[in-house]
Amino acid sequence: MRINALIGLIAFVSSLTVRCSAATNSPGLPAEVNLNPGAGRGDMLIVPVRIGSGEEVAFIVDTGSSGTLPDERLQPMLGDRVGTMSMQSWGKTSTHAVYAAPPLYLGGVRLLTGRNVATYDFGPDSEHSGFRIEGMLSIDCLRNYCIQLDFKDEKMRFLSPKQVNAAALGKAFPIEFRGGRPWIVHDGLVAGKAGRSLIDSGYVTDGAIKGLSGSYFPERLWEGQQYTNLVLGNGGNVLGLRFLARHLVTLDFPRRTLYLRQRSIGPLSGDTIPFLRTTRVDALEPLIKAVLQQDAEGAQASLAALEKSNASELIKGIGAKLRAVLEHRPKPTPASVPRDVTDLALGDAQASLAQVGWLEPAANRVPVSNEMQSPLLDSGRLYATGLYAHSPSRYVFDLGGKWQHLRGEAGLHTAFQPYAFGVVFVIKADGKEVFRSATIRGAAKASYAIDVTGVQTLELDVEQAVSRNGGNWALWLDPTLSRDATSKL
């Protein structure tokens, strides 16, 4: 986990079982550490670190982060503050206290570290993982050592130069440090995507490739060896923990060499990282394909065939809304809709303002991207109308005082329900908050029925529930305005 990185898929350990073995290493080097059982199987790599004379606490091991970060709760153990620094996370800049690096111990042996550390609030990560994470051990410390990660025997070893037998350690990759972090040049986890990647033990999936289309790859021949079931992101170029865990990994940082000896073609036993799953409707597939290819003629033909089929009215309605995406017709504002119209889906109305926290605003669909290949409004079931609203988001509509009721649901996209950190849905009428949902995570939904009689301006907001914003693909589902046919508004 890099504090300044965008991570599409993230998970933390569900239990912590780390302890030092009785074996000893060369003088000055920590003894073997038992890896937490979930490391490389969907969980982060965690070790027990002691600060000064305090108790051991759980630290993430992150070769992709340049600086060691104790949790803010440990500030009383860090002495006097020596300054501050700024960090960026999900586009937001925050200020953090900086301290002289305290003595850090692993297995009773003091670790070599950088000069300073900055504190960070790991509370949201702890909430997501189910136990308290107290910090991150980063490359400013790790680069001083030759570290071996043995996921088969669940061991982390610190090796002396005499213990490094290059011939037995597998394929060697020269390491170059760029921006203080370790990179290698390699064949590319996807064909045609060779290049330079960050060695990132804090990135829980197999890795990421900038500009990648798709997230799941059933097989790949990499550096002459076969691999299966790769899960990749597109936020940058990264070699992640899930891929590293298929090997005996030796990170000889002093000699700037990474060694990988393959032990598993596929993910390790007990792996918990799925690829993003979305609802597939065979009857809609030809239409979806035409829409994604911007083929208006093909989309019209597919819609005509759909309407003649025995598909449900909901599926036919979804098809019609998807076809309308290619028409690019101007939509009416709610205030301008003729009085004889008594129901108006907000997905069919023009917003006076639309902002979302990831990708771009979208109505009656979700924006297709490298992360998501389906445009369907999918939240436990499919919906024909709605608004894509990844947090933090805001949609504003001019009602002109001409509507009486707003009803609908709100939830998270099915594909991201296992990963979202949580959102809160908020509705405001003429600037006054009239609805606030509980925190929505997983498959939970919020329902609302709001009196908007006389309201001029309607605002639909989605807030992130915690400081982390990952996976918060929020959806306003079938939000619909209504009024009585006899209304004289």
Q: Which tokens is 125 given?
A: 């990560």
Q: Cα angle vertex 444, ends 460, 234, to 5°?
A: 75
Q: How many residues does the chain have?
A: 489
- The answer to whether residues 373 and 465 touch, using CB atoms and an 8 Å cutoff, is no
Question: How far is Cα 488 from Cα 254, in angstroms, rounded to an integer?
Answer: 79
Where is 429: in which H helix or E strand? Answer: strand 423-429
Residue 121 pLDDT: 87
pLDDT means per 10 residues in the chain (489 residues)? Answer: 31 30 57 93 92 92 94 92 79 83 94 93 67 90 97 95 92 96 92 88 91 75 92 85 98 97 94 77 92 92 96 96 90 96 97 96 89 88 97 98 98 91 97 98 96 98 91 96 82
Q: How far is CA 275 from CA 69, 232, 370, in A?
A: 30, 9, 13
Dump strand ranges (E) for 128-180: 135-138, 146-150, 155-159, 171-174, 176-178
Question: How far is Cα 97 from Cα 118, in angstroms, rounded to an integer?
Answer: 6
- The answer to whether residues 404 and 482 touch, using CB atoms and an 8 Å cutoff, is yes
Cβ count near 243 (within 10 Å): 24
Residue 127 pLDDT: 57
What digits encode the pLDDT tens for the residues 457-471? 999 999 999 988 888
Q: Which amino acid is at 358?
A: W
Residue 453 pLDDT: 97
Q: Which tokens is 238 given?
A: 């990264």
Record the pTM: 0.63
Residue 370 pLDDT: 61
Q: Which tokens is 175 given?
A: 């390491």
Question: How far is Cα 251 from Cα 50, in angstroms, rounded to an integer?
Answer: 23
Question: How far is Cα 460 from Cα 396, in angstroms, rounded to an integer?
Answer: 6
- The answer to whether residues 44 and 245 touch, using CB atoms and an 8 Å cutoff, is no
Residue 9 pLDDT: 26
Residue 286 pLDDT: 93
Question: How far is Cα 158 from Cα 317, in angstroms, rounded to an integer?
Answer: 61
> Hey, what's the torsion of the CAs at 64, 66, 70, 71, to 10 degrees?
-60
Which 8-state DSSP code applies to residue 53?
T
